[in-house]
Amino acid sequence: MAIEQSEPLQRILRGLTAGTDPGRLLHQALSAAVQAARGNLGLLLGLVDGVGTPLASTGTVPPLLTEVADAAIASGRLARRSSRDGRRTAVAECLRVGNRIVGALAVAGSPSTLEPGPLPLFADCASLALAHRPAPVPTSATEFLEALVRVGSDLDRSSVVTRMLEAAEALFGARAGFCAVTDGAAVRISHIRGLDRETVSIASRHPEFRALITSPGLRVDPPTHPVVALLSDGIETAVGLPLQADGRPLGHLVLLLGEAPQAALRVTLDAFARYASLALRSADVYRRVGDKEEQLAAVVHGMPNPVIVVDHDARFVMINGAAAELFELAGAFEVGHPVTGRLGNRALEAMLRPDSDFSQQLELALGRGEPRVYHAAVRQVASLGGRPLGRVLVLDDVTTEAETHQMKSDFVAVIGHELRTPTTVIKGYLHTLINRGDALDANTRQLALGSIDSNVDRLIRLIEDLLFVSSVDSNRATLHVEEVDLGELVDTYKGERVSVRRPRRELQLTADPAKVDQVLHHLVENALKYSKGDVRIEVANRGDEVHVAVVDRGPGIYSGDVARLFDRFWQLDGSSTRSHGGTGLGLYICRRLVEAHGGRIWCESRLGVGSSFTFVLPRYPPEVGDVDRTARPARDSAVGSSSGR
């Protein structure tokens, strides 16, 4: 090394040892570098908040010098640039503190004389001077408070930690650092500044690393500490600041400073850590509140029931999809707007007002087209201290329950009528026989007794129908199956208005003959009751199945009613039912009897043309429900008086 190059280097090193102002030493290093490289301009660029900032220069700085310095920082090695006219060349070497790039030293001069060889030596000297710069102390309380305000200006946890590290660099000259956050019983490194993650990862494996991030108070470790040496190559001092609020640990902030902080700076660092802890806790609280709100929103929006949440002033807070569809609302766009006039129902809107009785409940019809019946209930939302925050409206669709209740009411009325008619006839004839029986001739007495007998049978059949409905609903229906000739069974229905069309040969199948007869009786009785023309029974052999259809030429059935014909407690209309009698249970009983055999039943109908009721039975039914395969000695009589569409 030439003597003219070594003397400036030795002078700078002696200045560092003697405690000379590092800023002055930076200027000396830059001037010596320009001279040694035979240039005419120099620039010393430092990284502040990740942005290149001029620290020293030997004159007016042309863009070429800044460009080459930025290139050296970006690439991490010597960079060279030339002007467009080729008259000037610039070279730059990056400055490093440990493994970190903290700036660049750039020199410009003539392309024919510029010599970049000495540049790395002077860059190392400048790096040492940068490392020995004293930590800045806030010049005023205002500066300190402004930095703290920037830390707490965001409620996002990640942003708070990032601003925390930025403020530590601005206030205390922290050249690097990281934040370790407490996550339950574990501690993890969440943010790193000025260090590469691999360096921190290597240091974290050292046995003494945990003590660095778990100290109960401010901790200062010298460059010779084994963990600090790994982080800074033995150049900087580590300062550990515990982050805690309300006695609960939140994490630890570790900063790398140029020198150990003095007493005054330690007080400031403690105050900084306390405020940073509060900002971090606020971010955690905000995150937990946000999580709770998201959970509540997920629950509300996941409910199939229409749900509306309002605040204390009856303004929309939350509207789930079902409510938005029912009331034709714009969902999130309605939030903040008053409820009044938006639900299309004054009673519901009144329930959500803060001055109304929130304990009331309503049952009302809502929706366009075919309105559905809803049960509306409102509950007050209050804080833990009891302060009212708003109200929540929940609507339950009770359309099916309301229809079922109405059908049950109608069914009870029908049953009352069906019981009253035969009992009135029986009572009338018995009264006549008791009071004037001896005076009546034999034919009249026989007529009265025959009428009593038929009406008693009618009552028995009605009771059997009710008992059967109860048994199938409780899964207690039993089939007594045997080999039966379906053709022979169907032939018993031939009459003046009933004809049969079936194959001539026997139609043997395994079934409960009484139950099959019951199905036929209901269908044939319905066909005769609701039509004035002939009724035809058609039987077809389909191999493993037998199809039976009862066809009439009555008025037909409206297509919208066909789907519900086989439902329990459902009838076509009151006037038709009352004019023809019946309970409306007949087709429901048919469906359940056919299904008990493993078959199916359906209806095809055209208005003004007629109807066809078809059921299909397998030749050998599967084991469905309780099946007794022991033949009975006698078959029950046909049951059909409770038919009715």
Rounded to whole angstroms, how far apart are CA atoms 428 and 425? 5
Whether 404 is covered by a domain: the verdict is: yes
Q: Are residues 236 and 145 in the same domain?
A: yes
Residue 376 and residue 266 share a domain: no
CA dist 297 and 634 (Å) reads: 65
Helix (H, G, I), strand (E, B) or coil at 327: helix
162 and 73 belong to one structural domain = no
Q: How many domains does the chain have?
A: 4
Q: Is residue 304 one of the residues assigned to a domain?
A: no
From residue 307, give the alpha-carbon distance in Å to each of 319, 348, 361, 402: 6, 12, 15, 21
Contacts of 54 (CB under 8 A, 6+ apart): 43, 44, 45, 46, 61
535 strand-pairing partners = 498, 552
Q: Check whether residue 65 and residue 100 sit in a common domain.
A: yes
Per DSSP, the three-state class of 210 is: helix
Check whether residue 325 and residue 425 sit in a common domain: yes
Q: Residue 335: how many CB atoms within 10 A of its CB?
A: 14
DSSP character string of 344-372: S-HHHHHHTSTTS-TT-EEEEEESSSS-E
Residue 446 maps to which CATH number? 1.10.287.130
In 3-state terms, the chain is what percent helix, strand and coil (to 5)?
45, 25, 30
Q: Are residues 334 and 467 in the same domain?
A: yes
Same domain for 323 and 435, yes or no, is: yes
Cα torsion angle, 57, 58, 62, 67, sign: negative
Task: Please check whether residues 486 and 472 belong to one and the same domain.
Answer: no
Specify if 578 maps to a domain: yes
Tell me: do 469 and 527 sit in the same domain. no
Looking at 114, 132, 150, the residue that finishes a domain is 132
pTM: 0.49
Name residue 378's amino acid. V
Q: According to the model, what pLDDT value does residue 634 have?
A: 37
Residues 13 and 95 in one domain: yes
**Residue 347 is part of which domain span?**
313-476
Within 8 A by CB and 6+ apart from 354, the residues are: 312, 313, 314, 388, 391
CA distance 515 to 585: 15
- Name residue 181's beta-bridge partners: 188, 251
In the sheet where 361-366 sits, what is the strand order? Answer: 316-319, 307-311, 388-397, 372-382, 361-366
Assess contact for 481 and 627: CB atoms under 8 A: yes
Read off the CATH number of the domain in which 66 is found.
3.30.450.40
Query: Is 163 in the same domain as 283?
Result: yes
pLDDT of residue 338: 92
Last residue of a domain, one of 261, 291, 321: 291
Per the rule left: phi > 0, alpha: psi between -120 and 50, beta: everything else, 475 is: left
Residues (pLDDT < 70) of the chain are 1-5, 19, 48-49, 132-140, 234, 358-360, 369, 407, 411, 414, 471-477, 569-584, 622-645
User: pLDDT at position 467, please?
Assistant: 75
Residue 632 within a domain? no
Burial class (CB in 10 A: 0-12, 13-18, 19+), 546: buried
Of 456, 476, 496, the one marking the end of a domain is 476
535-541 and 498-501 strand pairing: parallel
pLDDT at 389: 86
Q: Same domain for 109 and 231? A: no
